[in-house]
Amino acid sequence: MRCLICHAGTDCFVDAALEIESYCCPHCGTIFKDPQIHQTFSLQKQRYDLHENDPSDEGYRHYFQHFLDWVLPQVGGSGSALDFGCGSSTLLADMLTGKGWESTAYDPIYHPEKGYRNTVYDLITVVEVFEHLHDPDATFGMLVGLLKKEGYLAIRTEFVPGSTEVYLHWYYRQDPTHVVFFSPGAFDCLCARWGCIYVADNSKNMLLVRKVLSGTK
């Protein structure tokens, strides 16, 4: 099977604990589960409904503050922002608004209004979304298309461990809605395809890219 990101050939391996086949790309480091086990939209919603995303919870607020403390000093200034895939809560968009950004939140389940497509943004945040995507290449390209030139895409997702052996003991893969896992190299490939530069990552779960050119796919 071809890699979802760089389209190179992949190596198939069995995740015995989950009783599924998965694929590892030796070129960009992406690991993804067999697409045949992708859940329907309704089954995914049942899982997401279990999330307890209370905007008044200090731990939840701290989670987003930690993300913003890493992202915003590198972006600088303020402008228009979109939180894509926000879930049931608009807390991150609200926090950006409190920091002087004109912010919009979108989620296909909980905040499905598609008016967000009618503008372009200085910053798009995508927190704990990419691991759920069935077509991450297309989604990355769509989001870049919503950025102003020199706009930023800030992503949070757990970076895949360095080997399939470690991956097979990794908690993050156990969520059935988590179907694709990225290395920094995978996002570097996406940047090259869609006219961005890879700005920085924190070596664990956050990265920042900047749009510099029209898409090159």
The pLDDT score that the predictor gives to residue 162 is 84
- Interval 159-185 mean pLDDT: 95
Residue 88 lies in a domain: yes
pLDDT score for 39: 86
4-8, 38-42, 136-140, 147-151: segment of lowest average pLDDT: 38-42
Q: Is the pLDDT of residue 215 over 60?
A: no
pLDDT at 54 over 80: no
Which phi-psi region, left, alpha or beta, contains residue 7 (left: φ > 0; alpha: ψ -120 to 50)? left
pLDDT score at 57 = 82
110 near 88, Cβ under 8 Å? yes
For residue 36, is it within any domain? yes
Task: Report the share of the chain in percent with pLDDT over 70.
Answer: 97
Q: pLDDT grade, residue 115 (50/70/90)?
A: very high
Domain holding 23: CATH number? 3.40.50.150
Comparison of pLDDT for 49 and 197, the residue scoring more: 197
Domain span including residue 137: 11-211
DSSP H helices in the chain:
41-48, 58-75, 91-98, 136-145, 164-167, 184-194
What is the predicted pLDDT for the residue at 214? 53
Tokens of 105: 């939140």
Separation between Cα atoms, residue 184 and residue 97, nearest integer Å:
29
Is 3 part of a structural domain of the chain?
no
DSSP 158: P
User: Phi and psi (nearest 5°) for 87?
Assistant: 80, -160
Answer yes or no: is pLDDT of 217 > 90: no
pLDDT digits (tens, 9 = 90+) for 68-87: 999 999 999 999 999 999 99
The 10s digit of each residue's pLDDT in 2-44 is 999 999 999 999 999 999 999 999 999 999 999 999 988 778 8
Is residue 114, in this structure, part of any structural domain at all? yes
> Stretch 109-132: mean pLDDT, rounded?
95
pLDDT for the residue numbered 164: 93
Q: What angle do CA 192, 117, 132 make, to 5 degrees?
A: 60
> Is residue 84 assigned to a domain?
yes
What is the domain count for the chain?
Answer: 1
109 lies in a domain? yes
Residue 4 lies in a domain: no
